[in-house]
Structure 1
Amino acid sequence: MAIRRALTMPVAAFELEGRRLPRATVNGSGQDDYAALLPTTERANHFYITPRQVSTVCMKLRLMLDELIPIEIKESRITRPGAASVITPAVVETALEAASGEHKACIIFALLTCKHWFTKLAYRELYDADLNSLKATACEMIAKRIIESEEDQEFLFKEMLCRRFSLVIEGEVTDERNALELGIDLHALTVIGSSGFQKCITWMWHGWIVPSPIKPSEFISYTDVAVPDFWTHFNPDRIKTPLYQNALQLVFSIVYLALYTGAVNTANPGGNFDPVEGLLYVFTLGFLFDEVVKFYHIGIYYFSFWSVFNDTLYGLLIVSFVFRLIALSSPYGSDARHSNEILAYQFLAFCAPLVWSRLLLFLDMQKFFGAMLVVLKELMKESVVFFVLLIIIMIGFLQAFVGLDSADGYVDTGVMSVSYMVRSVLQSPEFEPFETFAPPFGALLNYFFTFVVSVLLLNILIALFNSAYEKVYDNAIDEFLALFAQKTMRFVRAPDENVFVPPLNLIEIFGLILPFEWWMPKRKYAKLNDYVMTVVYSPVLVFIAFYEVYVAGCILRNRSVGEADDDRQEEWEDPELEDEIQASGWLKRVREASPHAELDPGLYELQQLKNQIDEMTDSLNSLKEQLQSGKAVSVKSAGGKGNETETETLLDVDTTTRSSQE
């Protein structure tokens, strides 16, 4: 039961829709029985869409958004569901026509590209910032409607979300990106929070969608997901799965914390390295190499709050290591050796809050910690404005204090001024030292600085923090989903044929790449990597294989009853009882009594009145046609047979009745 809950945790946490998903391919020796049961095969190579064609689709959508939202309106008219929204089903169909036929795969990428363009315009053209922001929001809403209305999940995952596209900008072709990466980079919460997007991310998290072994930048289905064979899943390539990489990183981080605790609490009087401290720096070197490699592959988009946090920690530990080497290079018992050794341990102890806080990086899978981490990141961003203002003001006042002090030709209170100014920022101002400092200018400047910092700047900081907190918690679920998507893409975005989780990447660098990769044939080098990874990860692969065998059994049971691969039976689900209730007419009665939540009450009444008027108009038009056709028949009958027989029409009856009454 615990394993089953672990399997379905992301799906249950995100409350994804239970749509039916494509069945995976089952190939390979010893799998004929499963192949007969599941005949689905991998999709053929997709139709190539040139960068020029993608750019054309983007331009069509941009022009459509300009016509759709020509003036500023309320954002609720764009985000509200149903017919009350500006994004009507007809608008969504029109957007799909912009990428009709073989170009449909790039529609989500094109909409997100348009969002990026409108967002840039909002920052560049401030006089139309609100209008361009509305258009960017409309792009997200249209993309969400298309994702949630797409019935072919295989096409949605592989073509619309995971397939990479590029644009032509000023005659140059841009780098390829897919809709998943672009949505996460743009922080498009509406798109990220859609069911199809999150299902795709969840499949990547479990390793059901994996990078292609031929072209790692593309994604394919893991064909053995439903094969309950132990040795099939005892494969070192399964380490690429984000779920298993995250688990390994958590284990190594706990070991890293234990090594740090042992090193910082056991100082060596002689200044020599002990095994615990040596392993600590080996782990740090592995983590540092991993950061460099990911930055090389991903670029500036890799930098985030946690990457900067980790880089700061590794930098301080490297500084401690350097001071230890300087201490060891000095003669034993010398003052230089002793001072550098103390300084190295001080840097090492200074890292303790960072090392312990690093564990929060692996608690973001829980909604509470994930939302709090997002809040913390936003607070750090908002505080940048405060610190910029604070630094400028402090420099100005510091220059004034130094100028007052240098009036007599000597500068002897510069450090004291900085110390007192910092205390004022920390709500502990000092007034007495400035009473005798260049009176009365010193005291006046100190009072003015304390007022500006305590009353103005700190209240601005509080307001910024409050705004950031409300902004995140108003979209707490979407922010959590975005955090999960960003973490998943962090594992698969930098394609690596051989995944060695830090600090095991040191084995790859110094044991494989440097001595063998530069001269060994590619095929033999790949086999060597497989052998090394199998040996290194063999204890972990045993647990992975048993876990995936259990998962394969759950998937086969779901498929036997026609359910989705990631579905699970809930306590309130009873198909037989649901069929009985539906047959009794209960749902029909509920639909008749239920209010229409998609429309406002007044708008719904107007819609009903419009429908009645339309029905009445159709009835009158039909009656008019009948009357006209009856009169024509009467005239034809009278003219064709010499008035021998006359056909009495409704008009004649009505005329005769009125004449008799008169």
Structure 2
Amino acid sequence: MPGNWRRFKGFFSLNGTNGSNSRHAWLHEEERALLPHHRNQNIESAIPPREVTKVCLRLRHLIRECIPCELEESQITRSHSTIITTKVIQAAREAGGERYGSCVVYALLVNMRWFQREAIVELWDADLHDLRAVACTVIAKQIIETEDDTEYLLHHVLLRRYSFLINQETTPPTNVIEKAVDLHAVRVIGSSGYQKCIAYLWRGWLVQDENDPSKFVDYKDKDNVNFIVHMDPDRMRAPRYQNAAQLLFSFIYLALYTIAINSINATGVLDAAEIVLYVFTFAYVADELVKYYKAGYHILGFWNAFNFILYTFLTVSLVFRIIGLSYWSDDKRHAEYSRLSYYLLAFVAPMFWGRLLLYCDSFRFFGAMLVVLKVMMKESVIFFALLIIIIIGFLQAFIGLDVAEDNVAGDSWFIIEAMLKAIMQSPEFDGFENFGHPYSFGLVLYYCFTFIVMIILLNILIALYNSAYEDIYENADDEYLALFAQKTMQFVRAPDENVYIAPFNLVEIIISGLFEWWMPKATYEFVNDCVMAVLYSPLLFVAAWLETRTAHTIRHNRARGEEDDDQVHEWEQFHEEIDFEAEGWTKTCDAVKPNVEEEPAVIEVRKLRAEVDELKQMLSNLGSAIKGKEDQPVEEAKSGKAPETEGDETRGETLETSEVPETLDVAEHPDEPEQDDEAEAQDTPETSAASGGDNKGGKKNKKKNKKKGPGGAGPSSGGPSS
């Protein structure tokens, strides 16, 4: 279609220049990708599935080794975790090597699903497997947020589709964006890189390549300031424009209903507002049927069931109106069917207003509220299951008492109404004394039923709702981002090549029936472009105005060297005028900023350890010096040198004893006799001063002779004295 639109603009010279059961169950689960199955048939994995499987197994082994036992989840998820360290994240990056590194995040999501599945199979280790699944999301988020190359992150890591092998069969290719939404990996969805990709998809800056649906390409004209260039009807594929169109048509649909219900025609004839209302209804029904036909039952959800009930009531209302018109001559039946038709039309008013929430969930307030309601409804399944079982049991008991009395179940409606009032906390005990009279079995049963429902079950429901609300409230932002990502991907996976939003899909049905089966494809696409340009002209005018303004912003950002979606905030306006480093403010902040990467106790222990090591080194050096001084006289005596003078000996002994404490000498020379230590300790400056020079010299010579032994080379070692 873009080629046709360029040819159409070429007429005005306005072309832009920028411009087995278990096996099948596994496979069936993997087919639940957001992209419809018929679009996946010709898509292949960007990396051979066998290599992707190997990467998955490497990462599985890594995570099992890093988390060998049960831990607190906070130890895994907190910043600067001691479990998921930078080395672990780097090892995960290297699991794919240089060639297959782009599939690591996808492989982590596959492992997340494996561990979740293992937690269901091995209940005795469910907490451990759930913890490993959480670790997969933590590592994936870190890899996404620390990737500096934005283009590589968007086009190869997040949007490139990959497959792996299950029982030697290839799974349908999916990308990280789809996989994270399918698995509800809110931690991955909440990462900055993932949200940047979702924002680009929402704005239409990333679109699917028409020639290769497995790839996404950049919208080339996003920086083009030419107004007509952005009037391309193919821009209606952008999710934000589709959402805006759906929201606009929903308000028109509600306005038509309001006019129809407030202008009741007594004759029963359809007026203009009612005709348009039923045309819209038929268009919405056709849209739901086409989606179901093309995408399968996997797209069915709460809102599909909600809309089905609404459209059913409106269709029945129209049928009754037509039946009433067929009895034009019979005033009584004509009035009866017309009145019944209006009754049904008025009955669905709350559903009309509630339907707006489906299209308002892109706003944060409504989106967060819908997430809370969705989780609460899931939690209430337990309550309703117990309630149904109890109702059936007591209903059978009451009917049995009624039949036992007169063999006729004549009070069935009374019993059902009384039980419903008890559920609504408005019980009525009158009348149950007649069941099982005169023993009052019925009254006792009704008391028991009221107690179980009002005291036990309703408190269980309140507790479930409270628990669900607390769980969602703590993670409300990520839950909203997950809902927004899912909504974005629903638009991206639109199965139609030509985007005809209901009620314009009726025009598509007519064009397709008249031209598609015989007209050449290029001509047929050109016809669709022209028709959509006319139908969406008001919306395209607004879209072109917005995109022209955005193009100026993009050019300004590129001129500053920033990314296309960069916004200059108030606190960023004076960054160029202030140099914190030149002012010395950076050094001041570095001196006072806390170290959040390590615990204070760990920092103090490391500092103490460094001081202890330094002290040990000082003691070792000091001990070596002392030992060297003590060994020096022995070496001199062995070499035949003359002993030192008495003054030198006294001065050396005084210095030695003043510097070295007694305990240090014992620690460094544990093998020396205790007598030497005592003699050395007594040889202090005071004792040296009190004793005479001869006495000191005698003590010193005596000590030297003792060290030399009987074979020493002193005067006493010679022959007998003369």
Which deviates more from structure 2 when the two are superposed, residues 298-307 or residues 65-74?
A: 298-307
Which whole-Å CA distance do the structure 2 matches of 1:314 and 1:216 have between them? 34
Which whole-Å CA distance do the structure 2 matches of 1:351 and 1:338 have between them? 21
What amino acid is the match of 1:462?
Answer: I
> Are 1:205 and 2:208 matched, yes or no?
no
Which whole-Å CA distance do the structure 1 matches of 2:303 and 2:385 have between them? 22
Structure 2 unaligned blocks of 5 or more? 1-9, 20-42, 626-651, 657-699, 701-722
Measured against aligned partners, the alpha-carbon deviations of 1:202-253 in whole angstroms (never above 9, x if no partner) come to 1111111112122345321101111111121110000111111111111111
Which whole-Å CA distance do the structure 2 matches of 1:608 and 1:248 have between them? 64
Cross-structure match for 2:403 = 406
Are residues 163 and 288 of structure 1, via their aligned partners in 2, closer, same or farther at CA, if it must alter by over 3 Å? farther
Indicate if the aligned counterparts of 2:418 and 2:428 stay in contact, CA closer than 8 A. Answer: yes
Indicate if the aligned counterparts of 1:185 and 1:301 stay in contact, CA closer than 8 A. Answer: no
Measured against aligned partners, the alpha-carbon deviations of 1:301-346 in whole angstroms (never above 9, x if no partner) come to 4334433333332232223233333434445426554433333222
Cross-structure match for 2:58 = 60
Structure 1 unaligned blocks of 5 or more? 1-27, 36-44, 628-656
Measured against aligned partners, the alpha-carbon deviations of 1:163-196 in whole angstroms (never above 9, x if no partner) come to 2222221232222221111111211111111000
Cross-structure match for 1:631 = none
Cross-structure match for 1:593 = 592
- 386, 407, 421: which one aligns with 1:389: 386
Q: CA deviation at 1:30?
A: 7.5
What amino acid is the match of 1:105?
Answer: S
Which whole-Å CA distance do the structure 2 matches of 1:244 and 1:350 have between them? 32
Q: CA deviation at 1:585?
A: 2.3
Are residues 365 and 284 of structure 1, via their aligned partners in 2, closer, same or farther at CA, if it must alter by over 3 Å? same
Which whole-Å CA distance do the structure 2 matches of 1:220 and 1:213 have between them? 10
What amino acid is the match of 1:183?
Answer: A
Which whole-Å CA distance do the structure 1 matches of 2:485 and 2:376 have between them? 21
Cross-structure match for 1:430 = 428
Indicate if the aligned counterparts of 1:57 and 1:107 stay in contact, CA closer than 8 A. Answer: yes
- 269, 290, 295: which one aligns with 1:293: 290
What amino acid is the match of 1:432?
Answer: D
CA RMSD of aligned residues (A): 3.1
Indicate if the aligned counterparts of 2:119 and 2:130 stay in contact, CA closer than 8 A. Answer: yes
Indicate if the aligned counterparts of 1:298 and 1:493 stay in contact, CA closer than 8 A. Answer: no
Which whole-Å CA distance do the structure 1 matches of 2:139 and 2:62 have between them? 12
Are residues 441 and 570 of structure 1, via their aligned partners in 2, closer, same or farther at CA, if it must alter by over 3 Å? same
Are residues 296 and 173 of structure 1, via their aligned partners in 2, closer, same or farther at CA, if it must alter by over 3 Å? farther
What amino acid is the match of 1:465?
Answer: Y
What amino acid is the match of 1:479?
Answer: E
What amino acid is the match of 2:505?
Answer: N
Q: Secondary structure at the match of 1:572?
A: helix
Query: 1:524-539 residue pairs with structure 2 within 5 A?
Result: 524-539=523-538
Are residues 616 and 32 of structure 1, via their aligned partners in 2, closer, same or farther at CA, if it must alter by over 3 Å? farther
Which whole-Å CA distance do the structure 1 matches of 2:532 and 2:142 have between them? 43
Cross-structure match for 1:79 = 77
Cross-structure match for 2:242 = 245
Which deviates more from structure 2 when the two are superposed, residues 489-498 or residues 395-404?
A: 489-498
Measured against aligned partners, the alpha-carbon deviations of 1:51-106 in whole angstroms (never above 9, x if no partner) come to 22222222222222222212110000000011x34111111111112212221222
Query: 1:266-285 residue pairs with structure 2 within 5 A?
Result: 266-285=263-282
TM-score normalised by structure 1 residue count: 0.84
Indicate if the aligned counterparts of 2:16 and 2:221 stay in contact, CA closer than 8 A. Answer: no
Greater radius of gyration (CA):
2
Q: Secondary structure at the match of 2:212?
A: coil
Are residues 395 and 336 of structure 1, via their aligned partners in 2, closer, same or farther at CA, if it must alter by over 3 Å? farther
Q: Identity of aligned pairs, percent? A: 48
Are residues 170 and 46 of structure 1, via their aligned partners in 2, closer, same or farther at CA, if it must alter by over 3 Å? closer
Which whole-Å CA distance do the structure 2 matches of 1:258 and 1:295 have between them? 28
Which whole-Å CA distance do the structure 1 matches of 2:83 and 2:609 have between them? 19
What amino acid is the match of 1:509?
Answer: I
What amino acid is the match of 2:602?
Answer: L
Q: CA deviation at 1:291?
A: 2.5
Indicate if the aligned counterparts of 1:217 and 1:495 stay in contact, CA closer than 8 A. Answer: no
TM-score normalised by structure 2 residue count: 0.77
Q: CA deviation at 1:382?
A: 1.4
Query: 1:35-114 residue pairs with structure 2 within 5 A?
Result: 48-82=46-80, 84-114=81-111
Cross-structure match for 2:40 = none
Query: 1:440-589 residue pairs with structure 2 within 5 A?
Result: 440-510=440-510, 512-574=511-573, 576=575, 579-589=578-588
Are residues 352 and 56 of structure 1, via their aligned partners in 2, closer, same or farther at CA, if it must alter by over 3 Å? same
- 167, 171, 187: which one aligns with 2:168: 171
Which whole-Å CA distance do the structure 2 matches of 1:494 and 1:212 have between them? 14
Are residues 147 and 379 of structure 1, via their aligned partners in 2, closer, same or farther at CA, if it must alter by over 3 Å? same
Indicate if the aligned counterparts of 2:225 and 2:551 stay in contact, CA closer than 8 A. Answer: yes
Q: CA deviation at 1:612?
A: 6.8
What amino acid is the match of 2:376?
Answer: L
Q: CA deviation at 1:400?
A: 0.7
Indicate if the aligned counterparts of 1:298 and 1:494 stay in contact, CA closer than 8 A. Answer: no
